[in-house]
Amino acid sequence: MEAHLLEWLNLSVRWVHMITGVAWIGASFYFVWLENNLNRVNPKSGLAGDLWAIHGGGIYHLEKYKLAPPTMPDNLHWFKWEAYFTWMSGVALLCVVFYLNPTLYLLAPGSTLSGTEGVLLGIGSLFAGWFIYSFLCDSALGKRPALLGFILFVLLIAAAYGFSKVFSGRGAYLHVGAVIGTIMVGNVFRIIMPAQRALVAAIAENRTPDPALPAKGLLRSRHNNYFTLPVLFIMISNHFPSTYGSQYNWLILAGIAVAAVLVRHYFNTRHNSQKYAWTLPVGALAMISLAYVTGPKPVTEVAKAPAAIEYQPLPETALGGGLKPAAPAEPAAAPAAAPAQASIDFDKVHGVIQERCAVCHSAKPTSPLFSTAPAGVMFDTPAQIQQQAARIQAQAVASQIMPLGNITQMTQQERDLIGTWINQGARTN
């Protein structure tokens, strides 16, 4: 029952997070586009430019003022709640997904941190990220935006590296995303909104607005602009085990972020010139290269058929009430005397999967954590196991994402056994 309620809580919070995130990023893309495409030739007096557009069956005429209209309108629309709600629902989602069950989802299998320490580290990093970022922007580096951008990039990748040492692959990725998301919303809340309020107040009181504030706001909103694409990738990265599940997940994230920033740069500059059109093919090439380097290892390397598999029955406590983080996976068994391609007996594979996976992945999970099969994946029958062979390979052989938190203490030999069975064609007889 509890697991079922949690699933619906997850669903609702995730949905809200997605809706508000779409609203926030959508508005932000739209205004960047608007700014870049304003017609600035011979604007009417007081205007910076204007733009005509057609959408949804209506024709719109938008005008941007150099500073402000002669009289302020009664109803000026502000864009902030989509940002605030994206962040709040994001933090709620972090709690529902990671912090409610840190040993299963957040911590790396075998991590020396306790669940509480992991949660505190996660939350602490959001605030630390914001303060370090904000300090750097306000320092002398703020005057050297390219250098600042480079330093921020290096720091974020360093954070990804650090997270990858203590958190699960997903936990690490999501926390990099949460740190960046917190910086973005912090920029809106602490810098951009106050600057806009000061501007509106100055106009209302007929004062000249302090130019320092908008300049600060501009740097921050430029950062937000370049953050969007990497963050969007991180938010969907859960679907791609070859990224977060890799030992080099932090490097892969760096590669994807570079491609994303390059592509964003093209879209930020294309109205002026095609000077950066090269970023598109380079971005595509980067993705192809990443696909290549993250690809499955050649068969000869994987297929070290272990001669005999020693089962290590689970201690009774492992799946009872008190779930403990499992010991780190053992190093791969030396392939020394293994007959190169002994045909794997399906019964052995079946036994491993029943013991290590089916406690959760079953129509009736025996694990107290799940009331239905997680992700709809069930391993009750040989046919189901065979049908899911490619996904099993991705989750438990090529990466060690499953079993979650290695809660059922799967050994490296067992992973090798399943890998060899899949390489031999995943036969069930």
**392-406 residues labelled b (16+ CB within 10 A) or e (exposed):** bbbbbbbbbbbbbbb
The CA distances from residue 408 to 100, 109, 143, 249, 316, in Å, are 19, 11, 53, 24, 11
Long-range contacts (CB closer than 8 Å, 24 or more residues apart) made by 229-236:
229/260, 229/261, 229/263, 229/264, 230/180, 230/256, 230/257, 230/260, 230/261, 231/177, 231/180, 231/181, 231/184, 232/25, 233/257, 233/260, 234/173, 234/174, 234/176, 234/177, 234/180, 235/21, 235/177
Residue 191 tokens read as 């810098």
Shortest spacing between CB 404 and ligand HEC, in angstroms: 4
CB of 270 to ligand HEC, least distance (A): 36
The Cβ of residue 78 has, within 10 Å, a number of other Cβ atoms equal to: 9
Using the minimum distance from each CB to ligand HEC, give the nearer residue, 169 or 283.
169
Q: What Rg value do the Cα atoms of the chain yield, rounded?
A: 26
| Residue 21 or 171 having the CB closest to ligand HEC | 171
Does residue 426 contact residue 389 with C-beta atoms inside 8 Å? yes
CB of residue 344 to ligand HEC, shortest distance in Å: 15
In the complex, what is the shortest distance from the CB of residue 328 to ligand HEC, in angstroms, rounded to a whole number? 16
- Minimum Å gap between C-beta 104 and ligand HEC is 6
Answer for the pair 227, 183: CB distance below 8 angstroms, yes or no.
yes
Interface positions with ligand HEC (CB under 6 A): 356-357, 359-361, 367, 369, 374-375, 377, 388, 391-392, 395-396, 402-404, 407-408, 410
Nearer Cβ to ligand HEC (25/360) = 360
> Which of 252/407 has CB closer to ligand HEC?
407
CB of 319 to ligand HEC, least distance (A): 8
Which CB sits closer to ligand HEC, 124 or 328? 328
- Who contacts 308 (Cβ-Cβ below 8 Å, separation ≥6)? none
Euclidean distance between CA atoms 284 and 323, whole angstroms: 43
Q: Least distance in Å: CB of 63 to ligand HEC?
A: 48
Q: Which is nearer to ligand HEC, 226 or 244 (CB)?
A: 244
Nearer to ligand HEC, 55 or 239 (CB): 239
- Residue type present at position 115: G
Q: Which residues contact 59 (CB under 8 A, 6 or more apart)?
A: 52, 53
Sign of CA dihedral 97, 98, 103, 106: positive
For ligand HEC, the closer of residues 256 and 404 by Cβ is 404
Q: How far is the CB of 238 from ligand HEC (least distance, A)?
A: 7
| 223 vs 361 by CB, closer to ligand HEC | 361
Closest CB 308 distance from ligand HEC, rounded Å: 20
